[in-house]
Each structure stands twice: as structure tokens, then as C-alpha cells.
Amino acid sequence: MQKKVILYALSTCGWCKRTKRFLEKNKIEAEIIDVDLLEGEEKTRIREEVAKHNPRRSYPTILIDEEVVLGFDERRLMELLEL
């Protein structure tokens, strides 16, 4: 069964880019949101959403179903994605 994956990232963040490459390499479908490229109310709403899962609002913040992974943690990602 496909897990729901959401990646909150910054377009300029090296760890976010590594996370995107990891997802792509492993053919994981994900909703990828580059928070720094959003504007206005949408940006505010998404930043509040990130803060619910990660009060420090650091990036990348990855949601896999109900689990939260902070930063690029390849071992944890593989475990949660059952790779």
C-alpha cells in the first residue's frame, strides 16, 4: 500500500535537495512543498502546518502517514517507507 508522503522543504536547502533525490531514486510519490516559494496566506498556512509537526520549523520536515521525520534521516526514511 502506498504511504502518504509530504515533504516540506526550502528550494535552497541542501538537505531538502538530498531528500528529494532520495524520494525520486526510490520512486516514492510525494507531495513536495517548497515553503520559501509560496506567497501570502498560503505561505502562512503552510508554515503553521509545519509548526504543528515541528515546532522548530526546520527543514526538511517529512510526514509519512502519521510519522514525522525531521531532517534527512535516510535510515528512518527507509524504515518508514519499508525499503
* pLDDT-above-90 percentage for the chain: 96
pLDDT in tens, 5-42: 999 999 999 999 999 999 999 999 999 999 999 999 99
Q: Which domain holds residue 51?
A: 5-81
For 13, the grid coordinates are 536547502
Report pTM.
Answer: 0.95
Q: What is the mean pLDDT of residues 57-75?
A: 97
Q: Is residue 70 pLDDT above 90, yes or no?
A: yes
In the chain, the number of structural domains is 1
Peptide bond into 60 cis (omega under 30): yes
Q: What is the mean pLDDT of residues 44-65?
A: 97
Q: Quote the CA–CA distance of 50 and 44 in Å, as a whole number.
A: 10
* CATH code assigned at 13: 3.40.30.10
